[in-house]
Structures are given as C-alpha cells and as structure tokens.
Structure 1
Amino acid sequence: MSGTSGILLVDKTAGITSHDAVSRTRKRAGTKKVGHAGTLDPMATGLLVLGINSSTRLLTYVVGLDKEYLATIRLGASTVTDDREGDRLDQASTEDIDAVTPEAVVAEIAKLTGAIEQVPSTVSAIKVDGKRAYALVRAGETVELRSRAVTVSAFELLGTRRVAGGAAPGTDTTDSTSTSTADTADTTYLDLDVRVECSSGTYIRALARDLGAALGVGGHLTALRRTRIGPFRVEDAADLATMVVADHLLSPADAAAALFPTIALDAQQAIDLTHGKRIRFADTADAAPVAALAPGGRLVGLLTIDSGVGRPLVNFPTDEVTA
C-alpha cells in the first residue's frame, strides 16, 4: 500500500517516542512519507494523528487544534522535568500535604483555567538560540523560557487519593503504590486525577508544576493520556502493535470533511482546481479553508473562498490511491 494516502489515528503506548511510532508505521504502510501532528512524551500514551503520503499536507491544519488529556498530578514533590521521569528537586512534609484542603485545590485549579500565561517546562523541545531547551539543560546550562499565552478551556478534578510510600520521581513505574528507596516510610503524596482541554502549545506538565507551587507543596505529572485532537478521538485509534494500516486509514476526503466545511465541485471545476485556477461560486459564503470534493468524492484540494471566488491553498494528487 505504498501509494495509499490517508490519515491514521494511532494509540501510542508508554515508553516509546512519537518518532518511534512514525517509524513503525512507515514499515507497516510500506512508505517513508509518514508524518505526525504533535508529539507525545515517551511517558505519555494516547492519540497520535499520522498522515500517510500526500495526506501529510493535512497535518499542518491538525497541529494547532485544541486537545484533551487525562492526567494524574502528584502533589508533594517537584522534579527537574515536571514529570515522574525527572530527578526530584524537593519534597513536602506529610504535615504540609495534610494541610492542603480540597477547597484550596479547587481554587488553584480555577486560577489555571481560562486564558493564562504559562512558562513551558524547561526540559522541552522549545528552541533557544537554535538549540532545543532539553539539550541545553542536559548540557548543564541554565535555561529560562518566556511565558506564553495559552488557553485552558477545561481543568476538571475527577478524583483525589492519598498515596503513602509512593514511587519517587525519577523511577520508571506507573504503579502509584510502589515503594522506592528514595522515599521514607512515612512519605505521603496527594494524587489528583484530572481532565484538561486546552489550546495547542499548552504543557500539562507545567500545569502540574504550577498547581503544586501554588499550593506550596510542589507537583509533577505521573500519568498523561491524550484523548482528543480537534475532532479526532483516541477511541477511534488503532493499536500500534497490532494495526493493519489499510483497515484504519481515513481517506483524505473523510479527514478533510472532519476538519473543514466542504464544497462539491462539478467535473470541470475539479479539473480547473487541479490546474491551480480560481473558481467562481454563486451564493457561497466566505470561508477558509474549505475542502473541495470532486463528483466521485475525491479530495481535490483546499480552498479559500472570498467574495464568491475560490482560490487554491493546496491540491492533492489525482493519481494517488485513497483509503
């Protein structure tokens, strides 16, 4: 199926990178032209949106979509990476954890909801003077990232639980009840299960860090699962280990229809758009992008329509097999 084009939803497992997921998909799809829209940390699981062959052109429009996550925030310790894989910076006493009230948690979550300024996690892929921030940190350099405007449209507390003798940050485990030699016998944490809906570019690790700091006990992320990117949901994703790519591929037309309004072309309009010509539409509202479909349902391209004139943004090959 090396010539097939489409969008593939994949459920990434923990312990692999997004690049690993792309590499495995290339082998299964029999093509090198595979890209993804938005990375997940190795610790994280959940939805990756992949583009196969010419459908990688759609990924530009997926990257910036809003996202939904399920996460576990551990209050009581902060880490270098703001998640469980980083070395511990400090740990709160049991007395300090016990002093954190449910009302205080809810109040501080509310302050991190809406349009906020967020300083990204230092160990991140953000470039500083042309180099990745995480590379500078690992080289021993001090990195200060600027805050950025993000939108947290939902930050919902789903549940809480006390964890005695939990795993120390820096250990590779997902078992919140396991013990570590870095913890004392009376170590106590407070775990928060949360659901977050947010704009692209929001760091859930940074939300965990900032919530813990606001409550005075430190915080980091112990689990993260991406459940949605725009209209695409993890429930519809394929298992990376067992998937047959052809069985799960969304056609370019179906994927585009999920992302944009559509407009039906007649045969001549489809030819004209393929040749990069402008197309006139009667009584058509301004919009951009618009997915333009040929009479047989094939995605011809994406348009911008202004004052009844459709101008091509990107076209798709006419000879490529679609899912």
Structure 2
Amino acid sequence: MVSPGILLVDKPAGLTSHDVVARTRRALGTRKVGHAGTLDPMATGLLVIGVEGATRLLTYVVGADKTYEATIRLGQTTHTDDADGEILTRAADDAWSTVTPDRIAAGVTALTGVISQVPSSVSAIKVDGRRAYDRVRAGEEVVLAAREVTVSRFDVLAQRQGEGFLELDVVVDCSSGTYIRSLARDLGEDLGVGGHLTALRRSRVGDFDVADAVGVDDLGGATLMTPAQAAARVLAILDVSAAEATDLRHGKRLAGQAPRLDGDRAAAVDPEGNLVGVVEKRGADLKSAMNMPEAAR
C-alpha cells in the first residue's frame, strides 16, 4: 500500500495539471491523488500533489500565497491573455512614445497591493457549473466578475526590445486566486499598447518551493513528505497526548483547550509524530475540522 504524503512536482510545459495527477497515479499505483492549484498547460513549475489520505491536507494548501516568474509581452493582445491564444491586436508605432521606464514603473505600482482584478475569460473559474474556458471554446462570450486580490511584490527584473513589442521579465508574489495573465493584460492596457503573458513559472506555494520538487520522469522514485511534515508547512503544530489523539479521532472535543491555540486552527500531532488532523476553536473547546484516516497518519 502506498504511504500517504505530499509530493512536490515540477510540471513541464505542455502538460495539464490533470496529466501530472494521472502520471502520479500510474507511478505510485494508487487512484487517491489530487493537487492544490491548477497550472495552465503553457506554465511550468510547482504542483503540490496529495497522495492517499494526505489529499485531505490540500484544502489548507490551496489558499497559500504564491510566487511566479513570468514574461510579459507588451504590444500585443491575445484572446486568452497568454501565448496560447491568437493575436488580436498589435500596437501602432506611435503608441510607443509614452511607454517610458517611468510609465512602466507607474503601471506596475498601480497593480501592486490590494487590487480589483477581472480574471481571464479562459480561466478555470466555474460559471453556472461549467469552466469559463469551456464556455469560451464553445463560442460563448464570458465576462467574469472582478475580485479582490493582493499582489505583495511585482518587480521587473529585465526587459528586451523586439520588433513591435517589448518583453518584461517579472517576479510576482501574490495571494491565491491572482491571475498573472490578467496582470499582463491590465499592464498592457494601462500603457496603451496591450499585453499578454508569454511565459509563466510557479516557484513557490506557501512554504513549498519548486527547488524541492521532482520532475515528471522521476515520480516513481520520489520521496513523499509525511502528512505531519507537510502540515507543519501550512499550519501551526499542536502536540497532543495519545489520549487526546484518540478523543479527536473519535470526534470528541478537547474541553477547555482553546487557549492552547494562538490562531484559529492547528495541525494536531500525536506523540509518535503522526498527524491526527486539523483542529479549530469552538468556544472554549478544540474540535476536529479534519481527521486523517487512521491508516494514513
């Protein structure tokens, strides 16, 4: 039987996140595999994969902040806001006169901090039960509602001038739910020349880093992070006694123990180092919000 755990995978371009999950299932010989946070086929980088009972932890990984390295091409727009789409517009020669380093810096600053962002119409967001990108491919016009996201860092690392376009290499730290394609689109629109994404790599999800990930050709021999090790990356740790662990596994509350948590929830770990589950405050008590399967601790 496959041991439960978290696997970090460096997704190559050309594969969907579902493709990586399918390969992981074959490599490890189990159907119980899931991931935290989709990457588009053109994107590369970190996928956090849950195996067996550790898939229950993915709920607490999905909302973590992320770091992306990207290339924005100014001067062209596409219908997908990235390089997979058809070019819709090209900037006229006279549009470039106002695209100065100061204007670019101002545009980037305007997209930093807490911002209102309209996701790309070809995102994975569901509209009336169907993915937005499926509706677009079916010929429907999709306009998604703006949402508030936080971009804590948006730095331009380098730029290259091409014929009729300007490329910016950027790094972005952002909250979950931020679309880098939309940043590229909105920066280009603000500068009056249009823009889209030509490269995207996710290098970090919370405290998980792509430097620790394996390639898709090395899945079979990969070492999984134990559920307790993984939980320590995304939650505070609460050490519980064997008796408390038994109570939590049986759905009992830990009466009067809420003061033991500084935050609202924590990962409960038993004396043997096994993850019992995730506990949260309920009044003065602690209650299980998620229990790990007993065979998957």
Shorter-chain TM band: over 0.9
* Higher mean C-alpha displacement, 91-100 vs 196-205: 91-100
Partner of 1:178: none
Partner of 2:193: 217
User: Matches of 2:75 and 2:135 in 1, distance apart?
Assistant: 27
Partner of 1:293: 269
Q: Shift of residue 199 of structure 1?
A: 1.1
* Cα pair distance change 1:92/1:50, threshold 3 Å: same
Q: Shift of residue 317 of structure 1?
A: 2.1
Partner of 1:261: 236
* Root mean square deviation of aligned Cα: 1.6
User: Matches of 1:41 and 1:283 in 2, distance apart?
Assistant: 42
5+ long unaligned stretches in structure 1: 165-187
* Cα pair distance change 1:119/1:249, threshold 3 Å: same
Which amino acid in the other structure matches residue 63 of structure 2? Answer: G
Whether the aligned pair in 1 keeps the contact of 2:135 and 2:141 (CA below 8 Å) is yes
User: Matches of 1:141 and 1:309 in 2, distance apart?
Assistant: 50
User: Matches of 1:111 and 1:26 in 2, distance apart?
Assistant: 43
Partner of 2:208: 232
User: Which runs of structure 2 are paired with 1:9-158 in the superposition (5 Å)?
Assistant: 9-97=8-96, 99-158=98-157
CA offset digits 1:191-241 (Å, max 9, x no partner): 000011111111100110010011010100000000111111111111111
Alignment match of 1:272 (pick from 247, 259, 266):
247
User: Matches of 1:148 and 1:282 in 2, distance apart?
Assistant: 33
Percent of aligned pairs with the same amino acid? 55
Q: Shift of residue 286 of structure 1?
A: 4.7
CA offset digits 1:38-68 (Å, max 9, x no partner): 1000000000001000100000111111111
* Higher mean C-alpha displacement, 150-159 vs 93-102: 93-102
Which amino acid in the other structure matches residue 263 of structure 2? Answer: A
User: Matches of 2:208 and 2:261 in 1, distance apart?
Assistant: 26
Which amino acid in the other structure matches residue 225 of structure 2? Answer: L
Q: Shift of residue 190 of structure 1?
A: 0.3
Runs of 4+ in 1 over 6 A off after TM superposition: none
Whether the aligned pair in 2 keeps the contact of 1:160 and 1:192 (CA below 8 Å) is yes
For the residue of structure 2 that corresponds to 1:301, the secondary structure is strand
Q: Shift of residue 149 of structure 1?
A: 1.0
Which amino acid in the other structure matches residue 116 of structure 1? Answer: I
User: Matches of 1:319 and 1:195 in 2, distance apart?
Assistant: 41
2:260 counterpart of 1:284:
yes
Whose Rg is larger?
1
Aligned residues: 296
CA offset digits 1:281-309 (Å, max 9, x no partner): 38624533211111110111111135652
Structure 1-normalised TM-score?
0.88
Partner of 1:314: 290
Q: Shift of residue 157 of structure 1?
A: 0.8
CA offset digits 1:109-139 (Å, max 9, x no partner): 1001111111110112222232222222222
Whether the aligned pair in 2 keeps the contact of 1:82 and 1:205 (CA below 8 Å) is yes
CA offset digits 1:162-182 (Å, max 9, x no partner): 123xxxxxxxxxxxxxxxxxx
For the residue of structure 2 that corresponds to 1:3, the secondary structure is coil
* Higher mean C-alpha displacement, 125-134 vs 10-19: 125-134
For the residue of structure 2 that corresponds to 1:48, the secondary structure is strand
Which amino acid in the other structure matches residue 228 of structure 1? Answer: R
Partner of 1:169: none
Q: Shift of residue 277 of structure 1?
A: 1.0
For the residue of structure 2 that corresponds to 1:121, the secondary structure is coil
Q: Shift of residue 318 of structure 1?
A: 2.3
2:4 counterpart of 1:5:
yes
User: Matches of 2:253 and 2:194 in 1, distance apart?
Assistant: 57
